[in-house]
Structure 1
């Protein structure tokens, strides 16, 4: 079947009711395919519809697992290409997998009437491993693409890891893997600067993971301090002849500042963060702020901020 922009808008305007002219299982493959559409209105509309149907419990547990398997595999479509329209499918499929993780947690907490949690450790581990490979190998760093809308794969991947980090089946080992993949993505040389607040999406995922209280302050300190390791030998202007490495430097520096302000002022409760999960206090908050202050000063190298001897 075909799905026009008018039909997409109609579904959204009618409180995401399943269209009477087709069945749920007929329209779902079409929605998934159009997650990779280069028309932003079509892509974003299909994202919202599929996400709403996941969260509204329209799919049974077996179907959700099957959808998750399909969607997580789509994050590898065209993977490794620096500029390709496949990025839209990868990035938007990642958000739908995140939705399934969130729905499973809601079922576990009894927030969905008549539904029980359905994800097993084996399934979550499989999806998590595929997600790590996707994020590690993602090379398309574009944020907003003129004429096509948001690609934003680095941000969407961070959102996926944010929702992995909240999931009950994700433990300390996986959280450490998440932090390492974020380190790699921030600090690695890159031909393109993040320009869609990707560092803030990563900071949000890290903040979310820390609320699980799986890491002690020494592990947090080690990870934060290690982010700047690739840049110890030079000051930022000395990377002028290595622009791709300079990009990684700026990504790390901006992350330090963004994460510092997020912890100092608290995380926004808008959208997916309008949840009791974020109402708890962050353990070791003051110690983490002090660590980040030192990280910011180290990155600055006494260039603009005063650092006592």
Structure 2
């Protein structure tokens, strides 16, 4: 172990690597910080340092893969703050070009099963399981080694999973954008682009509408409504980039509209 590092100072120094400290130990400390229950630690300077070092290639490839394995294992951590920040780190790594199939398997097991969907907690700060998971879903869904339909099916599993929590921190926006990003893949067939909606229609179309509207149904409706808009207008891969069209735009719009109509009219 190394002495406590002032990560704010590292950030202020344009993220220069502290002299005389082994990179393995530095990354280990950053990994621990990204699971810290203190939101000022977990979501503060250590996050910025790790993101910058990953993007700049400061951390060697073998150590980045080890870090990814640590994050994949963290999906089973008993602490929600540890579980929900793991996809953020994996998103960093995948975006930098790192990938292991086991990371996808671990994410696939965790995402629809996560029960704590709070966006923000007064003590723990940002948790955001659905939104953070959506970012990783988009990264995996755009990766050449991941079948896009696998991530679309995973999105459907998340949307149909029972919950009493109504999205209140734009989780529906993040998930809809992630789905739309996957749907921009040109190797996705038309049937695959709409088939993932079938279990949503079956899950919600068969039930009697009750009031108040169940949380998971409200979440699903709002996510699909935004997806319809994104299918129509395209989705930006980043804020400063032009919107990308969905190859099967009309089929997706028609299928989403049919699902929404089936749910509303039940």
Gaps of 5+ in 1: 79-85, 105-117, 303-309
* 1:90-133 deviation line (CA, Å, top 9, x unaligned): 121211111111111xxxxxxxxxxxxx64xxxx2211111111
Shift of the 73–12 alpha-carbon distance from structure 1 to 2, 3 Å rule, reads: same
Residue aligning to 1:23: 22
Flag as ranges the 4+ runs of structure 1 deviating above 4 A: none
1:282 aligns with 2:246: yes
Provide closer, same or farther for how the CA distance between residues 285 and 199 of structure 1 changes in structure 2, counting only shifts above 3 A. same
C-alpha contact 2:72 2:107 (8 A) present in aligned 1? yes
Q: Deviations over 1:183-232 (max 9, x none)?
A: 12111221222222222222122112112223322333332243132222
In the aligned structure 2, how far is the partner of 1:73 from the partner of 1:225? Answer: 31
Match of 2:92 in 1: 99
Give the equivalent residue in structure 1 for 2:233: 265
CA contact (8 A) 1:75 1:131 kept: yes
CA distance 1:39–1:2, change in 2 (3 Å): farther
Give the counterpart of 1:184 among 144, 157, 167: 157
Structure exhibiting the larger radius of gyration computed from Cα positions: 1
Matches within 5 A, 1:74-85: 74-78=74-78
> Partner of 1:8 in structure 2?
7
**Who is 2:64 aligned against?**
64
Partner of 1:221: 194
Residues 125-204 of structure 1: pairs in structure 2 closer than 5 A: 125-171=101-147, 175-204=148-177
Shift of the alpha carbon at 1:33? 0.7
Residues of 2 paired with 1:69 and 1:233: CA distance?
40
C-alpha RMSD of the superposition: 2.3
Q: Is the 8 A contact 1:2 1:30 kept in 2?
A: no
Name the residue aligned to 1:87.
Answer: 80
Number of residue pairs the alignment of both structures matches: 264
Indicate if the aligned counterparts of 1:166 and 1:209 stay in contact, CA closer than 8 A.
yes
Task: Please give the per-residue CA displacement for 1:237-270, whole angstroms capped at 9, x wherever unaligned.
Answer: x254xx7xx1121121111111112223332454
Structure 1 residue 58: Cα displacement: 0.8
1:249 to 217, 223, 240: 217
Q: Could you state the TM-score of these two structures normalised by the residue count of structure 1?
A: 0.78
Structure 2: gaps of 5 or more residues? none
Structure 1 distance, partners of 2:121, 2:3, is 25
Describe the superposition over 1:49-93 as per-residue Cα deviations: whole angstroms up to 9, x where unpaired. Answer: 112111110122211211111121112211xxxxxxx11111212
Does the residue aligned with 1:228 lie in a helix, a strand or coil?
Answer: helix
Q: CA deviation at 1:29?
A: 1.0
Q: Say if 1:39 and 1:148, in contact at 8 Å, map to a contact too.
A: yes
Instruction: Determine the C-alpha separation between the residues in 2 that align with 1:19 and 1:13.
Output: 12
Report the TM-score, using the length of structure 2 for normalisation: 0.89
Q: Does structure 2 retain, via aligned residues, the 8 Å contact 1:228–1:252?
A: no
